[in-house]
Amino acid sequence: QVQLKESGGGLVQAGGSLRLSCAASERTFAMYKMGWLRQAPGKEREFVAAIGWSGGRTYYSDSVKGRFTISRDNAKNTVFLQMNSLLPEDTAVYYCAADRRPVPSLVASVAAYDNWGQGTQVTVSS
């Protein structure tokens, strides 16, 4: 199984930006669709964004559409999440995970993702 490690979280003021990275342990990374998900205190884990195998297709939750951008560099086994115009409600632990289903569809179902990283904390102050 691929191992994933997130980085780039931190404390930022509302309106600010952060760029999260997720490094994968193996070159089969390019065979996986990838997703970013998050979990706020006291809430269930929720979908944020997903990207297809080559990076040509993306899918976002309504809450982040237009503010966040997911991208990937298969040569570096890394997926990114650029977060702009951050809001206090974006505060959460952010996880990257793999969608290993052998179909091209990108989905928001948390159950479709596995091989979770350890997460990186994002805190947005008002």
- Predicted local distance difference test score (pLDDT) of residue 27: 78
- Predicted local distance difference test score (pLDDT) of residue 41: 92
State pLDDT tens for residues 71-84: 999 999 999 999 99
Q: Residue 125's beta-bridge partner residues? A: 13
- Predicted local distance difference test score (pLDDT) of residue 2: 85
pLDDT lower than 50: segments of the chain: none
- Alpha-carbon distance of 6 to 97, in angstroms, equals 10
